[in-house]
Amino acid sequence: MKNKPWDGRFKKPMNPRVEKFNASLAFDHILYKHDIKGSQAHAKMLARQGLISQHEAEKLCSALDEIQVELEQKLHPLDPSYEDIHMLIEGLLIKKIGDIGKKLHTGRSRNDQVAVDLRLYTREVSLNIKNLLQELISTLNTLAHKHSKDSMPGYTHLQQAQPVFLGQYFEAYLAMFQRDISRLEDACKRMNFSPLGAGALAGSSLPLDRQWVAKELEFDGIIKNTLDAVSDRDYIMELCSIAAIIMVHLSRLCEDLILWATTEFSFVMLDDAFATGSSLMPNKKNPDVLELIRGKSGRVFGHLIGILTVMKGIPLAYNKDMQEDKEGLFDTVNTLAACLEIISPFLKSLQFNTKLMHEKSTIGHLCATAALEALVMKGIPFRDAHHKVGEWIKEADEHGLPLADIADKALKAIDSDRHS
């Protein structure tokens, strides 16, 4: 069992069960690049401030570069006795360059260290999500232009309502995802501030240059209140919230397409490369991609509730509860990215039965609102016009005729009476 960084005052070694329960290395190891980036900026700042020599800073940064390559190549086992990625990297650093490695943590706590790691990670994945959203918006924009004149039934309450254009449908989702990008950009403005130098909670008496580190790491500034710097997880809650909203939009899109792919609708044909079959029924072509996206929305929603619940009762400043901020965040990011990566090529693969859509938009009672508004334009009060069209619908149903036939005759009769 390795010595702990705090064991100077402890008389007993940690119980192996506690060590296993306490460790986060199994999941926070994915932060190794961000931890190394933050550590290198910290080392350079220590040298600038005369807390370590320039030579020591260069040796630290060079060794950290080597460790990053080694971790990328999976050359080091994830030994839980190190507890977390921060202690693993520090342990590897000390093994590599000796006592100089022990100087890296000068003026720093794991509280502000993990906080900067998570902000660097969140900034990086937010950009990736934004790029994936832009790809989806581009796909939807192409489909909107391609089908700008293809009419189809529009629905409210899942009942035929009025004719719309298929391109108009895609523009609606395009608008949703554009708002999602706006939310991401807005959240990143609040997230992009450095907590480094806040220490455990009260800063440091050492002559640290927090502003320089923030600039080196491309933050917009520092979090001035050190208590807030180490205990804030708003940016994680915001990203999980934005991810949940994106998944709502994806799930709604998928639900529409699942309905459209049914035999009852037959508005869309699934591409063989993006569908699955049945192990029993040879006739089946299933929209598994869409159903999985719809289902995965649940786990993203769950992670949002998880982080909100973790944070709701925590007193200032840092508490170990906050270790629970990571697994849900990482899974949210991975789940959302996987859904966004598949939805664009899936949409491009679809074939829309625009002929049938057009036919469905011209039969039944979808012209009812247009007929009502035509009566209004002839000076008939809205409520009277609404009642009149309702009577025409009743007549159409009784005679098995489309409403358009009844409405056209009635409107022509009104015009004839006015001109006679």
Q: Model confidence over 94-120: pLDDT tens digits?
A: 999 999 999 999 999 999 999 999 999
Residue in the block written with tokens 């056209």: 408
pLDDT at 13: 84
Residue 159: how many other CB atoms lie within 10 Å? 8
The Cα 350–Cα 1 span in angstroms is 57
Q: Which residues pair with 152 in a beta bridge?
A: 164
The Cα 402–Cα 408 span in angstroms is 10
The Cα 132–Cα 28 span in angstroms is 24
pLDDT at 116: 98
Q: Which two tokens stand for residue 219?
A: 């933050």
Q: Which two tokens stand for residue 375?
A: 């009566």
- Ranges in the chain, pLDDT < 70: 1-4, 6-7, 419-420
The Cα 249–Cα 228 span in angstroms is 33
Residue 208, SS3 per DSSP: coil
Q: Can you list the domains of the chain with their CATH numbers?
A: 14-103 (1.10.275.10), 110-355 (1.20.200.10), 363-419 (1.10.40)
Q: Which residues pair with 160 in a beta bridge?
A: 155
pLDDT at 261: 97
Q: How far is CA 251 from CA 216, 257, 264, 293, 294, in A?
A: 40, 10, 21, 6, 4
pLDDT at 1: 42
The Cα 268–Cα 266 span in angstroms is 6
The Cα 111–Cα 324 span in angstroms is 14
pLDDT at 414: 84
Kindly give, in sequence order, each residue whose CB lies less than 8 Å from that of residue 253, ignoring residues fewer than 6 positions away.
173, 343
pLDDT at 220: 98
DSSP string, 284-349: --B-HHHHHHHHHHHHHHHHHHHHHHHHTTPPSS--GGGGGGHHHHHHHHHHHHHHHHHHHHHHHH
Q: What is the CA radius of gyration of the chain?
A: 30
What are the residue numbers of the active site? 157, 278
Q: How far is CA 94 from CA 48, 63, 87, 272, in A?
A: 22, 10, 10, 55
Q: How far is CA 117 from CA 31, 43, 62, 168, 230, in A?
A: 7, 15, 19, 42, 11
pLDDT at 419: 67
Quick check: 82 and 25 in contact, CB under 8 A? Answer: yes
Q: Which two tokens stand for residue 268?
A: 């869309």
Mean pLDDT of the chain: 95
Quick check: 192 and 278 in contact, CB under 8 A? Answer: no
pTM equals 0.93
pLDDT at 3: 65
